[in-house]
Structure 1
C-alpha cells in the first residue's frame, strides 16, 4: 500500500511540476512586453506626453479581445488580464519618470514610440497565442505563481503588479 501511495505521489508531483513549467514561455513574453516601458516612458517624457493614454489603452484592449476571440479564448476572461498588463505598464512608466526626476539618465535615448508600439503589439499577440496554447493543457493554477514571479522581473515592476497580473491570468478561460 505504501509503495502504491508513493508511486501515486511521484506521478502527481511530476504532472504538477511539468505543467507548472508551462507558464515560463508566457511569463517570458509578458516580461519582454514590459521591457519596452522604459522606451515608452522616455519618449513620453521627452515629448511632454502623459503616461495615461486612454485612447491607446482602449485600442489595445479592443484589439486584444478581438485576437483572443480568434484564438478561441473567452474575451471576457482575457480582458482583466489585458487591463492588468496595461496597469503594470503604466506603473513601470511612472516609476521610471519618478527615478528620472531624482537622477536624469545620461547617454540614453528612447526609441521612437511608433516602432516600440508595433513591437509591443506583436508581443501582445504572441502572449495571447501562448495563452491559448497553454490552456489546451488545462487552466492556469495557483502553483505556477512562483515560476511566473521568477520570470517576470522587469525593472520597476513591483510584487503587487506581478500579483495582479497573475491573478488575472488565473481567470483566463477558453471560449465556450
Structure 2
C-alpha cells in the first residue's frame, strides 16, 4: 500500500512538472535559432556544387526577403529594421557556402551527400520564421538585447566556416531590429 501511494505521488508530481513545462515552454534564444539555420549551409553549398549552380541566387534572395518582411510586419516588427538583419543572414550564409566550396577544391568530401535543396530550404524557412517570432516576442515583452545577450549570442553561433566578423554583423543587425511604430 505504501509503495502504491509513493508511486501515485511520484506520477502526480511528474504530471504536474510536465503540465508546467507545457504551459511555459522555453523559447530558444535567437542565437541558437540562427545557428540552427546556418547549420544547413553545408547542404546548400554541396547541392549547388553537385548541380553546378552559383552560390548567389538573387531571385531566391528576393523571395526570402519579401517573405521575411511580410512576416515581420505581421509580427509587429519594423520592416526597415528587419531588412538589414535578413540581408545579413543571407550574406553570412553565402560566405559560409563560399568557404565550403573553397575547402572542397583542396579536399573534397567523398562519403557525404547533401540533403535535397527543397527539403533544406523548407527547414531554413522554418528557422527564419522562428527567429523573427523570437525577436518579436522578446521586444513585445519590453526586453532589449544587452551585452550579456551578445556574449551568449556569440557563443551560440558555432558553425564551421563562420568568422568573428560574420557574427558581429549578425549581432549588430539583430540588435537594431525594433517594433513597428503604430
What TM-score do you get using the length of structure 2 for normalisation?
Answer: 0.82
Aligned to 2:123: 119
Secondary structure of the structure 2 residue equivalent to 1:167: helix
Stretches (4+) displaced over 3 A: none
- Confirm whether residue 88 of structure 1 aligns to residue 100 of structure 2: no
Which of the residues 167, 172, 175 maps onto 2:177?
A: 172
Find the counterpart in structure 2 of residue 69 from structure 1.
73
| C-alpha deviation, 1:138, in angstroms | 2.0
1:96-175 mapped onto 2 (5 Å cutoff): 96-135=100-139, 136-175=141-180
* RMSD (Å) for aligned C-alpha atoms: 1.4
Q: Could you list the per-position Cα deviations for residues 1-43 of structure 1 after superposition, in whole angstroms to 9, with x for gaps in the alignment?
A: xxxxxxxxxxxxxxxxxxxxx9962110000000000000000
Q: 1:31 aligns with which of 35, 42, 47?
A: 35
Q: Which runs of 5+ in 2 are unaligned?
A: 1-25
> Would you say how many aligned residue pairs link Structure 1 and Structure 2?
155
Where does structure 1 lack aligned partners over 5 or more consecutive residues?
Answer: 1-21
CA distance in 2, matches of 1:72, 1:142: 24
Task: Tell me how far apart the structure 2 counterparts of residues 142 and 74 of structure 1 sit (CA, whole Å).
Answer: 22
Distance in 1 (CA, whole Å) between partners of 2:150 and 2:142 is: 17
Q: Which has the larger radius of gyration?
A: 2
Q: Distance in 2 between matches of 1:150 and 1:79?
A: 24
Deviations 1:96-121 (A, max 9, x none): 00000010001100011011001111
C-alpha distance in 2 between matches for 1:175 and 1:23: 22
Give the TM-score normalised by the residue count of structure 1.
0.85
Deviates more, 1:86-95 or 1:130-139: 130-139
Q: Structure 1 CA distance, aligned partners of 2:124 and 2:112? A: 20
Conserved? CA contact 1:142–1:170, under 8 Å:
no
1:72-117 Cα offsets, whole Å, 9 max, x none, are: 1111101110001000100000000000001000110001101100
